[in-house]
Amino acid sequence: MRVLLLREREVGELLSMREVIAAVEEAFRLKGEGKTQMPPKSYVFFPRHGGDFRVMPAYLEEGEEAGVKVVNVHPGNPDRGLPTVMATILLLDPSTGAPLAFMGGTLITNLRTGAAGAVAAKYLARRDSRVVGMVGAGAQARAQLRGLREVLELERVKVISAHPERTREYAEEVRREYGLEVEEVRGIREAVEGSDVVVTTTPSRQPLVREEWVSEGTHLNAIGADAPGKQELDPGLLRRAKVVVDDVEQAVHSGEINVPLSSGLFRREDLYGELGEIVAGKKPGRTSPREITLFDSTGLALQDVAVAWLVYRKALRLGRGEEIEL
């Protein structure tokens, strides 16, 4: 059995953010049309190590694309010289079940999450959004901004994180690479107030963004809550906003809404719907310049598999990767 091996470096050479956004948007459309299979992600927790890993399978029926990702989340890893998130992806032939490709999935995970935020902003943010408030300054904050720049005409970024040196590095990088105005603010309130789009990318288990800081017309991408017990936003903000999730079951279990739901501060029926329903045209996105919209991103196996197949097909066409015998 021969399998194509693609290393992280090769994956990066085969992808652009614009391509990833297109693949993720298409995956959302297919989900909204009921043309996918995606069991809820399975978790294994490491309490003594403060981390976990997840197993995420999916099948996109229209394109005959199947695969599974294994990914960890260890927030303490940067202090060990390792990424917080590391992943691998295995692609399968749906007609036989045979493995086709094995590839690094860390960059794909990072980019597809940024792409999901971009797709959400495309349908939910105001078209005249110019200012982004970033709460968090790590790898995902970079991917989110990279994605947002593809769908919005941004002019200014305000950023804060729990690590001043990372905030400084982020600001310098954004100025250098994108030529945007960047302000390193002193508090989360400063990052939120006056921002058209607010993005949270932290592993917090306590609300960081207060309801009263968020103005009418703001769009929020809540990215950090991806496991039970995590939350970044004031539950009152959820009750005030049009809340859109990537997947209802995953969001209920481990998304931004999981804690407010379990504590009775938010109801399942208060959800507006899934982003796939909006992309598929089944529900409208933003309907007023004054409404507050909120995207609760948990990260979908569909996104990983869609992007991994994009990489695989390009690799075959360009003769990239290494064939190995299992």
Q: What residues act catalytically? A: 69
In the numeric block, the tokens 């959302």 are attached to 28
Q: Could you give the angle at the alpha carbon of 97 between the alpha carbons of 91 and 98, nearest 5°?
A: 70
> CB of 205 within 8 A of CB of 231?
yes
* The pair of three-digit structure tokens given for residue 102, joined into one six-digit string: 């094995």
**Cβ atoms of residues 247 and 297 within 8 Å:** no
For residue 22, count other CB atoms closer than 10 A to its CB.
Answer: 17
Pairing between strand 181-184 and 156-160?
parallel
Q: Angle formed by the axes of helices 139-151 and 164-178, to 10°?
A: 30
CB 265, CB 295: distance < 8 Å: no
Which residue is listed with tokens 């917080």?
Answer: 84
* 272 in Cβ contact with 244 (< 8 Å): yes
SS3 content of the chain, % helix, strand, coil (to 5): 40, 25, 35
